[in-house]
Amino acid sequence: MGLQFFNLILFILCASPLAHSRNIPHNSKTTLLNVADSIQKTHQVLNFKFNQNNLKQQQHKSYVSSLSSSTLSLQLHSRASIYKSSHADYKSLTLSRLDLSYGDGSYTVGDFVTETVTIGATSVQNIAIGCGHNNEGLFVGAAGLLGLGGGPLSFPAQLNTTSFSYCLVDRDSDLVSTLEFDSPFSRNAVTAPLRRNPQLDTFYYVGLVGISVGGELLPIPETSFTVDATGSGGIIVDSGTAVTRLQSDVYDVVRDAFVNGTKDLPTTNGVSLFDTCYDLSAKTSVEVPTVAFHFGEGKVLVMPAKNYLVPVDSVGTFCFAFASTTSSLGIIGNIQQQGTRVSFDIENSLIGFSPNSWVMNGVGVHLEKVAMLAYMNMTS
């Protein structure tokens, strides 16, 4: 059976209320954003021209490297680079009918099969996958959802692995993103409880207790981030969602605090789902409030400015990369995760965040970005 447009995009489809704001002494109030560098790199990404010869050279280099290493190696390529390609060697045993839908309205209909999955020189037999013939939504034109969620058919579950981690490099970086199985947390990891919801067992809920802006913990009840008795609410880590989504009342508090700390910056109209944007075309760098996630036992993950104030064009429009949602479910998205190794210790119910940790320690997969963002979706 031939599959066309075989572009593999990873979708890793993962107390009492606060009554007032309080200062966080160890958290800086402001940080610097390099506007000129962000604009330049965004311009390069938007004007990227893919070279087929480079693709062939990179594929050969990756394959040769995989023969001399125990690390699984995989490249990600843009749809345009492999347009009209075909793979006639796809053979599978049909097991049953596949009919799957996702929260964003995307769906796939086809056959449920078992297959030998080969990455580089390593093969794993009898992996259950879905072969979609009718695909609608965000993955149209691409054949690749690697499910790393909490369900029994996810890739980690089928490999019987107890942990995995990924590090998505910055969207404008030339470095290599990585996906890794069975490795310990980094020494500098900020850890938090990894919680599960019996009503939605595919998601990875995190024990978030608060958010600070400008070094000040905001007046947001901890219950805003917890799952209630009906299975609603909570906040998940999901690299298939680009920007962090918060319940409307929570988002308003976070946004207003950020706006209050950026009064000296020139504003402009909102763009798409972003309602807080700035015209930084005349700036080379700006000072902005810090934004941080707070977990139990005083653990804090402070994000770099480029993870929450992002360019949306090549002329200097930057937007606050958080957004509201009408859903009770909050999501920590992939822009806020970039440059951080996110580790899931399934066996011990812990999640770790390790800034600037790209090096792999166990068996892993190299994710080479070619003018695209490697989305990871926590499903299956």
Residue 318 lies in a domain: yes
Is residue 356 one of the residues assigned to a domain?
A: yes
- Which of 67, 96, 82 lies closest to 9 in space, CA to CA? 82
8 A C-beta contact, residue 358 and residue 342: no
Which residue range is the domain that position 79 belongs to? 3-368
Task: Assess whether pLDDT exceeds 60 at residue 90.
Answer: no
Q: Is residue 182 part of a domain?
A: yes
Average model confidence (pLDDT) across the chain: 75
- What is the H or E stretch that residue 61 is in? helix 52-67
Q: Is residue 378 part of a domain?
A: no
Q: Is the pLDDT of residue 244 over 50?
A: yes
Evaluate whether residue 373 is within a structural domain: no
Give the residue with greater pLDDT, 372 vs 202: 202
Asked which of 118-122, 254-258, 368-372 is least confident by mean pLDDT, the reply is 368-372
Overall domain count for the chain: 1
Rg (CA), the chain: 21
Return d(Cα 359, Cα 339) in angstroms, integer: 12
Assigned token pair, 202: 């595919």
Distance CA 197, CA 204 (A): 8
Strand partners, 119: 122
β-pairing, 309-311 vs 317-320, is antiparallel
Assign residue 72 the CATH number of its domain: 2.40.70.10
**Does 37 have pLDDT greater than 70?**
yes
The answer to whether residue 172 sits within a structural domain is: yes
Farthest-apart Cα atoms in the chain, separation: 62
Q: With respect to residue 380, please indicate whether it lies within any of the assigned structural domains.
A: no
pTM of the model: 0.74
Q: What is the pLDDT of residue 88?
A: 43
